[in-house]
Amino acid sequence: MKLGIVGLPNVGKSTLFNSLTKAGAESANYPFCTIDPNVGIVPVPDERLGLLGDFYHSRKVTPAVVEFVDIAGLVKGASKGEGLGNQFLANIREVDAIVHVVRCFEDSNVIHVDGNIDPLRDIETINLELIFSDLEILERRISKVGKSARMDKNAGKELEFLNKVKAHLENGQMAITLVPENEDEEGFMGSYNLLTAKPVIYAANVAEADLADDGASSKYVQAVRKYAAENNSEVFVICAQIEEEIAELDEDEKKMFLEDLGLTESGLEKLIRASYHILGLMSFLTSGEDETRAWTIRIGTKAPQAAGKIHTDFERGFIKAEVVNYKDLLENGSYAGAREKGLVRIEGKDYVVQDGDVILFRFNI
């Protein structure tokens, strides 16, 4: 999973990126990987892994990971070359979802580029840059497809759809809010890789005082939530300053610090949960003495395709899957104990993998 973090200057974007990547690397004892100055790979917090790792005395515990990309240079006019210009657009086209950091706090010491706090205006500023960039792509595609539309029936269908998407964007709407009417339109939309078709998670960056009630008393957060609900998006409330402090703590200290604030989870955990939800993802687990590991798949994935996440040979030679829920496994003290109670199931090619399944795949090639 690859997430791009965007936001106007002075909204807390880089603070959030730095604290999330540092916190993630330290909390899970995972080797933090810096690919370049603005990319970090962070483990997905998952308490099930630690429990299963202890259960099997696994020599290695490997979490699922998220790649965060801090997209710099996003200012008004970026699509026309302002700031870092189109450099950010190339980075953002590669991500699965966009994390849009929106400033929802007052602080006279931190100047806002537009002079005052207005999260909906900030959202619109960035959305317009994404729309302008997408319109350029659509216009180039229209020019190309239009040449063959008269002679090619499929090209004619695509041209009609391209014009529909273009009109939608010109009306100030994001492509993700345009629902394809059939499989052809779904295929066309998927091939364009539009920025405005990517799922968006809004990170409402609040002051510490607004964190305990999850932003319920903040008019800014409420405005962002209303906008997100109207645009098929997710929202989570975060205080980038607090996340920066959390990043310096070990696991026990972090837990106490969050409890003192009246919180049950960190910003990283909120973000991961929102990301999995909006992208329709979940994790199944494999566990044994050698390794306990989480594997990220789409909800609805069947057993052979889940096996293919481990190795293509597993999918190609799939025979069956031995499946047990991780809670049933732990509660019964052993794999044999769970099996005796009929909690270990033999599943075939049509089995839809569930979140928290511990699976042993049988295959032959």
Closest CA to 11 of 67, 72, 66, 68: 72
Contact indicator for 139, 49 with CB cutoff of 8 Å:
no
Query: How high is the pLDDT of residue 180?
Result: 84
Closest CA to 46 of 264, 316, 293: 293
Query: How high is the pLDDT of residue 320?
Result: 96
Query: How high is the pLDDT of residue 271?
Result: 86
Can you state the angle between helices 251-260 and 13-27, rounded to 10 degrees? 130
d(CA 339, CA 143): 62
Task: Give, for all 365 residues of the chain, the pLDDT tens digit.
Answer: 889 888 887 787 878 887 877 644 333 333 333 345 477 888 888 999 999 999 999 999 999 988 888 876 565 655 555 544 455 566 678 889 999 999 998 776 655 655 678 899 999 988 988 898 899 889 999 998 888 878 888 888 989 999 999 999 999 999 998 888 888 889 989 888 899 999 999 999 998 888 878 888 889 999 999 999 988 889 999 988 888 888 788 878 888 888 888 888 888 888 888 899 999 999 999 999 999 999 999 999 999 999 999 999 999 999 999 999 999 999 999 999 999 999 999 999 999 999 999 999 999 88
Query: How high is the pLDDT of residue 27?
Result: 30
Can you state the angle between helices 119-146 and 153-170, rounded to 10 degrees? 160
Element (H, E) at 320: strand 318-325
Query: How high is the pLDDT of residue 330?
Result: 95
pTM above 0.85, yes or no: no
d(CA 76, CA 307): 45
